[in-house]
Amino acid sequence: MKAKEIQELIDFISNSGLAEVKIETDEFKLSIKKHAEAPAAKAVENHYTPIPAAAPNPEPATQKEAVSESNEHANRSLLEVKSPMIGTFYRSANPDADFFVNIGDTIQKGQTVCIIEAMKLFNEVESEISGKVVKVLVEDASPVEYDQPLFLIEPQD
- Tens digit of each residue's pLDDT, the chain (157 residues): 666 777 777 777 767 666 777 777 777 677 776 654 444 444 455 555 555 555 445 454 444 454 445 445 545 689 988 899 999 999 999 999 999 999 999 999 889 999 999 988 999 998 888 999 999 999 999 999 998 999 999 998 6
How far, in Å, CA of 143 to CA of 152, rounded?
A: 18
Query: What residue numbers bound the domain in which 89 lies?
Result: 47-155
Assess whether 85 and 128 both reside in one domain: yes
Look at strands 78-82 and 47-51 and give their pairing.
Answer: antiparallel
How far, in Å, CA of 47 to CA of 25, rounded?
A: 37
SS3 28: coil
Asked whether the beta carbons of 127 and 81 are under 8 A apart, the reply is: yes
Examine residue 96 and state whether it is found in any structural domain, yes or no.
Answer: yes
Examine residue 40 and state whether it is found in any structural domain, yes or no.
Answer: no
Look at residue 50 in the predicted model and tell me its pLDDT.
58
Assess whether 14 and 56 both reside in one domain: no
Look at residue 42 in the predicted model and tell me its pLDDT.
44
Look at residue 127 in the predicted model and tell me its pLDDT.
86
